[in-house]
Amino acid sequence: MSLIPFGIAVVRGTSMLPGLRDGDRLLVRYGAAVRPGAVVVGRFADGTLAVKRAAEQRPARDGSRGWWLLGDNPDGLDSRHRGPVPETDVLGVAVARVWPRPRGLRPR
């Protein structure tokens, strides 16, 4: 039996407004299967870690399949500016906000 690790991610900035705010803490299941609409932690090509919503799968720059990651707030930086993120760089799926107002997160 293998255990899937959990961790905490902190939302930074305003790209996930109105649902998630700067400073929110999320419970993340690392290695979980990604589904469209899920809030995920992903690594863009420049190394930036970001909390974004997985929109759809697209071909990535390296020829593999990747995820188009978007912020809920269209004013933020996301795949519209940086392109798709390879599947291997979508690190985990957020399952709940644990602070400051605990609640489960469901895909949109």
Q: Are 36 and 63 in contact (CB under 8 A)?
A: no
Question: Could you report the per-residue pLDDT of 40-75, keeping only the tens digit for each?
Answer: 999 999 999 999 999 999 886 677 789 999 999 989
Mean of the per-residue pLDDT values of the chain: 92
The pTM is what? 0.90
Question: Could you report the per-residue pLDDT of 99-108, keeping only the tens digit for each?
Answer: 998 888 877 7
Using alpha carbons, select from 23, 25, 1 the residue that is nearest to residue 96.
Answer: 25
Q: Which residue did the predictor score with more confidence, 76 or 29?
A: 29
For domain 6-102, which architecture applies?
Ribbon (2.10)
**Mean pLDDT value across residues 77-87:** 92
